[in-house]
Structure 1
Amino acid sequence: MNEIILQNLLSPVVLFFVLGIIAAIVKSDLKFPNGLSEGLSIYLLIAIGIKGGIELSHYSIESVLAPILGALFLGIIIPFITLALMRVIKMDLKNSIGLAATYGSISIVTYGAAITFLDENGISYEGFMNALVVLMESPAILVSLLLLKIAESKRDLTLYSTRNLGFIPSSINLIDKEVLRESIFGKSILLLVGSLLIGWALGDNAVPMVKPLFIDLYSSVLILFLLNMGLIAGKRLPEVKKHGLKLLAFGLFTPLLFGSLGVLVGDLVGLSLGGVTLMGVLAGSASYIAAPAALKTSVPEANPSIYLGLSLGVTFPFNLIIGIPAYYEIAKWIQ
Structure 2
Amino acid sequence: MSIASAALLSPPVLCFGLGALACALRSNLRVPAPVFEAVSIYLLLAIGLKGGAELAETRWADIAAPAGAALALGMLIPVWCFLALRRIAGFSVADAASLAAHYGSVSAVTFIAVISYLERAGVPHEGFMTAILALMEAPAIVVALLLARMAQNRAGPTAEDAPAPTSLGEALREVVSAKSFLLLVGGLVIGGLIGKVGLAPVRPFFGDLFLGFLCLFLLELGIVAAEKADAAWQAGGRLLAFALLAPLVNGALGLLAGHAAGLSEGGAVVLATLAASASYIAAPAAVRLALPQANAAYSLAASLAITFPFNVVIGIPLYAAAAGLLYR
Whether 1:150 aligns to 2:150 is yes
For residue 72 of structure 2, what is the aligned residue in structure 1? 73
Give the alignment's TM-score, normalised by structure 2.
Answer: 0.94
Q: Distance in 2 between matches of 1:214 and 1:151?
A: 45
TM-superposed CA distance for 1:8, in Å, is 0.7
For residue 32 of structure 2, what is the aligned residue in structure 1? 33
Q: Flag the 1:242–1:272 CA change in 2: closer, same or farther, 3 A.
A: same
For residue 19 of structure 2, what is the aligned residue in structure 1? 20
For residue 193 of structure 2, what is the aligned residue in structure 1? 201
Question: CA deviation digits over 1:96-127, x for unaligned, max 9?
Answer: 11100100011111111111111111110111
% same residue = 44
TM-superposed CA distance for 1:294, in Å, is 1.4
Which secondary structure state, in structure 2, belongs to the residue aligned with residue 89 of structure 1? coil
What are the within-5 Å matches in structure 2 for residues 163-242 of structure 1? 175-242=167-234
Gaps of 5+ in 1: 159-171
User: Quick one: which amino acid aligns to residue 155 of structure 1?
Assistant: A
For residue 44 of structure 1, what is the aligned residue in structure 2? 43
Give the alignment's TM-score, normalised by structure 1.
Answer: 0.92
TM-superposed CA distance for 1:38, in Å, is 1.4
What are the within-5 Å matches in structure 2 for residues 15-164 of structure 1? 15-87=14-86, 88-156=88-156
Consecutive aligned runs of 4 or more in structure 1 exceeding 6 Å deviation: none
* Residue of structure 2 aligned with 1:286, choices 278, 287, 297: 278
For residue 315 of structure 2, what is the aligned residue in structure 1? 323
User: Quick one: which amino acid aligns to residue 81 of structure 2?
Assistant: T
Q: Distance in 1 between matches of 2:116 and 2:179?
A: 24
* Residue of structure 1 aligned with 2:253, choices 247, 261, 274: 261
TM-superposed CA distance for 1:324, in Å, is 0.2
User: Quick one: which amino acid aligns to residue 71 of structure 2?
Assistant: L
User: Quick one: which amino acid aligns to residue 135 of structure 2?
Assistant: L
* Residue of structure 2 aligned with 1:332, choices 299, 306, 324: 324
For residue 161 of structure 2, what is the aligned residue in structure 1? none
TM-superposed CA distance for 1:197, in Å, is 1.0
For residue 302 of structure 2, what is the aligned residue in structure 1? 310
Q: Flag the 1:173–1:312 CA change in 2: closer, same or farther, 3 A.
A: closer
Q: Distance in 2 between matches of 1:224 and 1:252?
A: 26
8 Å CA contact 1:150, 1:174 repeated in 2: no
Structure having the higher Rg: 1
RMSD: 1.7
User: Quick one: which amino acid aligns to residue 252 of structure 2?
Assistant: S
TM-superposed CA distance for 1:173, in Å, is 9.9
TM-superposed CA distance for 1:243, in Å, is 0.8
TM-superposed CA distance for 1:206, in Å, is 2.4
User: Quick one: which amino acid aligns to residue 39 of structure 2?
Assistant: L
Higher deviation after alignment, 198-207 or 234-243: 198-207
TM-superposed CA distance for 1:329, in Å, is 1.0
User: Quick one: which amino acid aligns to residue 247 of structure 1?
Assistant: L
Q: How many equivalent residue pairs?
A: 321
8 Å CA contact 1:239, 1:306 repeated in 2: yes
User: Quick one: which amino acid aligns to residue 29 of structure 2?
Assistant: L
8 Å CA contact 1:145, 1:175 repeated in 2: no
Which secondary structure state, in structure 1, belongs to the residue aligned with residue 122 of structure 2? coil
8 Å CA contact 1:53, 1:200 repeated in 2: yes
Higher deviation after alignment, 293-302 or 21-30: 293-302
Q: Distance in 2 between matches of 1:11 and 1:173?
A: 45
8 Å CA contact 1:149, 1:175 repeated in 2: no
